Every structure is written in C-alpha cells, then in structure tokens.
Amino acid sequence: MEPNFIDAHVHLITPGMIQDNRERTRILYPEFADAVDAAYTSRFEGKTPEQIFGKSLSELAETWLKVMDANGLRQAVFLPISERPEEVRDFLKFAPDRFIGYAYLNYPASETAPQRLRSAIKDYGLKGLKLYPCIQMFNPCDKALFPLYEEAQSLGIPITFHFGITLAPVADYRYTNPIDLQLPLRLFPKLNFIIAHFGAGYFREVCLLGFHNKNVMLDTSGTNNWRDYTPEQTPLYDVFKRSVEIYSAERILFGTDTVIRKDVGYRSAIKVEQETIVNKLTLSASEKELIMGGNARRLYAGK
C-alpha cells in the first residue's frame, strides 16, 4: 500500500463534544427544545454518546492507528465537532507524527472568536479551523466573521467549511450555499478556504467559485451521496474530472469523512472508490499523489 496517503477529512468525536452540540443547539433553538432532543435521540438510536463513541481517547487513538496502517494512510486530519481544543491536543499526543488536529469554534461570529482561534493554534498545536454554517446558523459572508478570517489568514491556517446537505440532527439550510464565500475569497486572498464534500449538493456553485478564486480548495470526503438528490445524478467520476479541470490537481484533497464508532470502522470502500477514480483520470503520477496526500502535506507542513 502507498505509505504517504493522507486522509484530509476524518472526525474526532467524543461524548463531551456530543453533549456540547446538544446543549448549543438547544440554545440556538430554545422554542424547539423537545424537537431538538427528539432529533438527537433518533440520530443516535437512543444510545448514549459513551455507548457509541466510548470513553477513552487512548483506545480511540489505538483503533485509528490500526485502521490507518491497514489502509495505507500515513496521516489523517481530525476535525472535531465542538470547541474542545484540550481533547484534540490530548488525542494528538498519542501519535503526533500521524495525527493532524483542527480547531472548532462554537460561536465563530463572537468578538472573542479570533482570540480563541489563536489560542487553539498557538497553545494547543492545531492546524486548521472547521466551520459548519448550517448547524451554527451563520452566513460566511457576514462581516462579523471577517475578524476571524483575518486572524486565520495571519496564522497561515486553512478554514474548512461544510456546506450543502448534512446528516447532522438539526440544520438550517438557509446557510448551506458555498456561493456566499465569494466575497471572503476576494477580501482574504492569502487565506485558504476548503469546501468539503464537493459542496454536498452545490457542485455547480463550487465550480463557479473556481472561476477566478485561486484560494479555494475542494475536499472529496464522504460517500458523496448528495448526487442522488440532484436532478443530474452526476457520476462520481465526472465530479472528480470536472473538479480537476476547473481547480487542477493542486487544489483537491482526498478524504473519507470517517467517524470511528464502536460498531463502525474506517470507510475503506470510499478510499478504494476514490483512489480508483483518481487513477483513471488523465493525470501524471505526481498529480495523483497531490490529491491523495501531497496537497494536505503541503497545506499543514510547519503549521
């Protein structure tokens, strides 16, 4: 197996993060508290977070190292789902040469967000920021986010956005369109913006953003079953091909969107499918390596 592949989009989820999410959602939707609780209960089939994700970071890290070795992954980029930089830091300590950690901000439009981001990067050793507009209820072109973008640009880290459809228990689809990144892309030209899952249903808009923005990248993560809910139902090979034509191999990151649970392991089938597609594209060996690991290696090196 290739030793230098990097999965640029996997998730670190702990019981504490799940509880944070649930409480934060109840704050965002106070008039729908019962509906929020029902949504979480349904999503997790009535099980507790501990029953699903376990209690031990060391056990989780050991599992990850095993599946990474089994699937030819040199490194993986872990995106948390709540603002717990200390948990991410403690997880990274188990394999600092193989685990790359992201920050998450519960309230990215707040006045303290830039300072908290700087602390996550400088004090906790994290290397990027994950934002999720449709579950955090913000528009990425809101000027209240601009100080955060300025701080991320100063720190030299990328921001990964989840736009489009989602499996999150509660989401507001008014905030799912990646076209809203157009203004920030132009105002912060030295900041790398990453759009996950090819836009998850907004592939047309993602293609349009690539027209004259060179600081936007795509990640390939997940099943990409959003294609089943679009009029075109575009084959995944065609999604990859068009993305390379518009963005070039230098701005595409391979990922699986894996969440390790007690009953669910690494999404090996996604890696095999995407690696097969990349190998079929008319690309040089070096360009294929960029997608499967080189771009992530460059993006996070030295951060």
> Which CATH number applies to 5-13+62-300?
3.20.20.140
Range from 25-29, 134-138, 253-257, 263-267 carrying the lowest mean pLDDT: 25-29
Tokens of 299: 């993006």
**What is the reported pLDDT for 92?**
97
The DSSP H or E segment spanning 6 is: strand 5-12
Decide: pTM greater than 0.85. yes
Exposure letters 195-214 (e unless 16+ CB within 10 A, then b): bbbbbbbbbebbbebbeebe
Higher pLDDT, 192 or 21: 192
Percent of the chain with pLDDT over 90: 77
- State phi, psi for 9 to the nearest 5 degrees: -155, 90
- Rounded CA-CA distance 27/176 in Å is 20
**Amino acid letter at 262?**
K
Stretch 46-73: mean pLDDT: 85
- Rounded CA-CA distance 197/165 in Å is 10
Range from 126-135, 139-148, 158-167, 257-266 carrying the lowest mean pLDDT: 257-266
Q: What is the 3-class SS of 8-71, one letter each residue? A: EEEEECCHHHHHHHHHHHHHHCHHHHHHHHHHHHHHCCCCCHHHHHCCCHHHHHHHHHHHHHHC
The DSSP H or E segment spanning 269 is: helix 268-280
What DSSP assignment string belongs to 59-115? HHHHHHHHHHHHTTEEEEEEEESSS-HHHHHHHHTT-TTTEEE-EE-SSTTSTTHHH
Stretch 4-28: mean pLDDT: 88
**What is the reported pLDDT for 262?**
67
**What is the reported pLDDT for 263?**
67
Higher pLDDT, 83 or 264: 83
3-class SS shares of the chain: helix, strand, coil, % to 5: 50, 15, 35
pLDDT tens digits along 194-220: 999 999 999 999 999 998 899 999 999
**Amino acid letter at 298?**
R
**What is the reported pLDDT for 19?**
85
**What is the reported pLDDT for 120?**
97
**What is the reported pLDDT for 24?**
82
Spell out the domain ranges in the chain.
5-13+62-300
- Nearest of 159, 55, 171, 175 to residue 105 by alpha carbon: 159
- Rounded CA-CA distance 211/186 in Å is 12
**What is the reported pLDDT for 175?**
95
- Top mean pLDDT of 40-44, 46-50, 275-279 is at 275-279
Q: Is the pLDDT of residue 229 over 50?
A: yes
- State phi, psi for 6 to the nearest 5 degrees: -130, 125
Q: Is the pLDDT of residue 302 over 60?
A: no
Report residue 1's pLDDT band, with 50, 70 and 90 as the boundaries: very low
The DSSP H or E segment spanning 259 is: strand 258-259
Stretch 289-301: mean pLDDT: 95
